[in-house]
Structure 1
């Protein structure tokens, strides 16, 4: 597991790319969330600087390389109506995810297992499902992709106040 670090701020997080899918190929279905960065967007950004920020993000969430046992990083997925957000360890900000499919949302809100994968190598914007398998299975991915098991916490609906009898 990586050393806990201070998570990146919203400027870096807003540039991240995320893909979600439900893997139902095995006896137990698993929801996945792949997070990456598309690469430098302006002259001040470098690949090494981006990687340092991604490692800080991984450390803040408690992720580990594939070669290690996958850590349970807790209830970091939050649902509030149609919004799905990932608590990545920042005091004030969370990462809002693109709208996952209904089957993905239902699986995780029913307590089904989930996994977050954070790629250290560039992940192009708009990378669809056809790009995910090659990205995760390429040579060296066991040290360049960091993982953690996640669960969801749904916002409790406020309960109506109990009516008290009038005197």
Structure 2
């Protein structure tokens, strides 16, 4: 399933992963600032198999299913706009990943990230299928994302917060 072909379509990939799997992924927020422009970011990774019923294959399958349910595109192409998938409420953030009953909670983001997203800014979602240790520092994370991109293991898209009326 590697290579730069993007997401491989298969019937089982059309079913979002369950909340048990989504609870095992790691998410980190950040803001990319360049040339007076700010872009909210959400990085989604998995630390690899940790539970008795998990293997490298089941984790990769779960991450690919998550990417498919979010409608993410290959990391080496222009990121698609995947619609309003973020909900911001009382300082908490959640990502609608396509499950009919559950959303993915995002660890407490900074006030700056929340304000940016709440005011309508795009948020770049970057999902990496290759496992990343929970203890990875910024340099290790950057190197991991770059290596994963080179191996076709990065999917991404742009989302925004739902408007509340």
> TM-score normalised by the shorter chain: which range applies?
0.7 to 0.9
2:3 counterpart residue number = none
Q: Is the 8 A contact 1:5 1:60 kept in 2?
A: yes
Gaps of 5+ in 2: 1-5
Q: Is the 8 A contact 2:75 2:154 kept in 1?
A: yes
Q: 1:41 aligns with which of 43, 50, 54?
A: 50
Residues 124-143 of structure 1 correspond to what in structure 2 (within 5 A)?
124-138=133-147, 140-141=149-150, 143=152
CA distance in 1, matches of 2:69, 2:49: 22
1:117 counterpart residue number = 126
- TM-score of the aligned structures, taking structure 1 as reference length: 0.85
Label 1:127 to 1:96 Cα distance change in 2 as closer, same or farther (>3 A).
farther
CA deviation after TM superposition for structure 1 residue 147, in Å: 0.3
Query: Are 1:25 and 2:31 an aligned pair?
Result: no
SS at structure 1 position matched to 2:37:
coil
Matched residue count: 156
CA deviation after TM superposition for structure 1 residue 57, in Å: 0.8
- TM-score of the aligned structures, taking structure 2 as reference length: 0.85
Deviations 1:91-112 (Å, cap 9, x if unpaired)? 0000001111111111111112
CA deviation after TM superposition for structure 1 residue 118, in Å: 0.6
Please tell me whether Structure 1 or Structure 2 has the larger radius of gyration of its CA atoms: 1
Gaps of 5+ in 1: 157-167
CA distance in 2, matches of 1:146, 1:42: 25
